Structure 1
Amino acid sequence: MLPTNATPLEKRLARVNAAAEVLNVPIIRQLWSVDDCPTEFLPYLAWSYALRVWDADWSDQIKRARIRSSIEVHKRKGTAKSVRDVVESFGGDLALREAHQMDPPGTPFTFQITMTVGSSLPQTAAFQNEILAAVDDTKPARSQYNLIAGVGFDTSVGVLAAVHAITYRRLNLPG
C-alpha cells in the first residue's frame, strides 16, 4: 500500500518487491545444510566454506563430501590428518608416510603418499590433478611429497575364486 503522493521510484520499488516475493528461494537453514542444500547452490556453499578446488563436473556425492570435510580440514590444515581427510573427501584412500617413518629415513620435510582412487570415480588425469591441487593446498607449505597413485577395484570373492585358490594351493603341495 503506497500513499497517493508516492514518487515514481517508490512505485518501481514496490513492483520489484512484489515480484521478489514470488521467487522460489529455499529457507536459509536449508541453504546452509550440506545434505539439504539444492544442487544448484552447492558452489556458493563451497565458496562460503573456503574450498579452493572445485569442479562443476564432479558428482553430487563428491561435492557434498568435499564441503562436509572442509571444516575439519581447515582446523588441521598443514597436518597429515588434513591431507588424509582431503583425499578421503574425494572418495580415495591414502597411505601417508612422513620422512621419519621411511626406511631408510627420508629427507626432512618430505613425505610419501600412496593414493588409491576407487574404480567408481573418474579415472582421468584431470580428476587426479584436482585431488593433488587440494593436497597442495592442505599440506604444510614447506613440505614436498612423492606420489604413488593407483586404482582400487571393488570386487568380492565368490565361490569360483575360492575354488581357484584351493586348486592352486593343492598343486603347490609337496607330493
Structure 2
Amino acid sequence: MSLLPTNATAAERALEEAMLAKIDLSKVGRSWDPATCPAQDLPFLAWGLAISHWDTTWTEAEKRAAVAGAIPFHQIKGTRAAVEQVLARFHPLLSIVEWWETSPAREPHTFEVRANSLEIPVDFLTPETADAIIRDVAAAKPLRAHFDFVQSLEAQAKIYMAAGGMAGSLHRADYHAEHDTSRDWSLVLQTEDGEPILTEDGADYLETA
C-alpha cells in the first residue's frame, strides 16, 4: 500500500516502488559518471547525454571518453569550433572553408569541408568514412549553415628563369579538380529545430520516401 498522496508525481511513485523492492539506489549516482558507469550501461548514458554519434566498435576507453566529452561538446555545438573538433576526430588535415574565405565569396552561411587528395591518402576516404563525416558535421554545424563535402586535387607549379643575374619571368599554374559526392540533404527528415533525424539504429539519417 502506497503512503504517497494522490497528487504524487510519477518520479516519486517510481522512487517508492524502488525502495519497496529494496533496490540499492546508492549506485544510481555512479551510473551517471562516465568513469564509474558499468560498461554495459554506457550506451544508455550516451543516449541520456544526447551524443550525436556512437560507434559500437569503440573500445571501452573510447566510449567513456566520448561520454565524458558530451557536455563540453554541447556547449560549443553549432559553432565552427564544434565542426573542427568533429573533423579532427576523423583526420587532422580535413579543413573548413567558409563562404567569406573564398574568392569570389559564396552564398552567406555556407561552407565547404575539404579533403585534399594530395595530403590525405585515397584509401582513407572510403564512401563509408565520407558518409560518417557528413553525418557528424551535419549534427555539429550551425542550424542555418549549409555545406558541401569536397574531395579536391590541387597542384601548384612555379618556373623561374633568369639570365645575367637579372630576374627573367615567373609562371605559376594552378590546377584544381573537385569530385562532389555530397549527400542530397533536402531528402533528410529534420526536427522542428532543424536537426537531422537518425534512424532507429543511429547509423544513418531518415529520408523522405
**TM-score relative to the length of structure 1:** 0.55
Q: Identify the match of residue 146 of structure 1 among 139, 144, 148.
A: 148
Q: Any stretches of 5+ residues in structure 2 without a counterpart? A: 1-16, 153-209
1:133 pairs with 132, 135, 142, which one? 135
Residue 73 in structure 1 maps to residue 73 in structure 2 = yes
Deviation of 1:91 (Å):
4.8
Q: How many pairs does the alignment contain?
A: 128
Does structure 2 retain, via aligned residues, the 8 Å contact 1:77–1:138? Answer: yes
CA distance in 1, matches of 2:140, 2:69: 12
Q: Which residue of 1 aligns with 2:56?
A: 56
After superposition, the Cα gap between the structure-2 partners of 1:144 and 1:131, relative to the gap in structure 1 and judged at 3 Å, is same
- Alignment map for 1:1-175 (pairs within 5 Å): 17=21, 27-88=27-88, 90-93=89-92, 94-114=94-114, 125-148=127-150
Secondary structure of the structure 2 residue equivalent to 1:86: helix
Give the residue type in structure 1 aligned to 2:46: A
Change (3 A) 1:35 1:148: farther
* CA shift in 2, pair 1:124/1:45, >3 Å: farther
Task: Report the Cα offset of residue 80 of structure 1.
Answer: 0.4
> Which one-letter code corresponds to 1:133 in the other structure?
R
**Could you say which structure has the greater relative contact order, defined with CA pairs below 8 angstroms and 6 or more residues apart?**
1
Q: How much does 1:27 deviate?
A: 3.2
Displacement of 1:63: 2.7
Deviation at 1:102, TM superposition (A): 2.0
Asked whether the equivalents of residues 49 and 67 of structure 2 are also in contact (C-alpha less than 8 Å), the reply is: yes
**What TM-score do the two structures reach when normalised by structure 2?**
0.48
- In the alignment, the residues of structure 2 paired with residue 62 and residue 115 of structure 1 have an alpha-carbon distance, to the nearest angstrom, of 25
Q: Which has the higher strand share?
A: 2
Alignment identity in percent? 27
Runs of 4+ in 1 over 4 A off after TM superposition: none
Q: Counting helix residues as a fraction of each chain, which structure ranks higher?
A: 1
Shift of 1:71: 1.5
In 1, Cα distance between equivalents of 2:87 and 2:98? 16
Partners of 1:106 and 1:17 in 2: CA distance: 62
Gaps of 5+ in 1: 1-12, 151-175
**For residues 62-113 of structure 1, what are the alpha-carbon distances to aligned partners after superposition, in whole Å with 9 as ceiling and x for unaligned?**
433432332222222221011122334x453342221112233222111122
SS at 1:27 equivalent: helix
Secondary structure of the 1:47 match is helix
Aligned-CA RMSD value = 3.5
Contact map agreement 2:90 2:133 (CA 8 A) in 1: no
**Corresponding residue of 2:179:** none
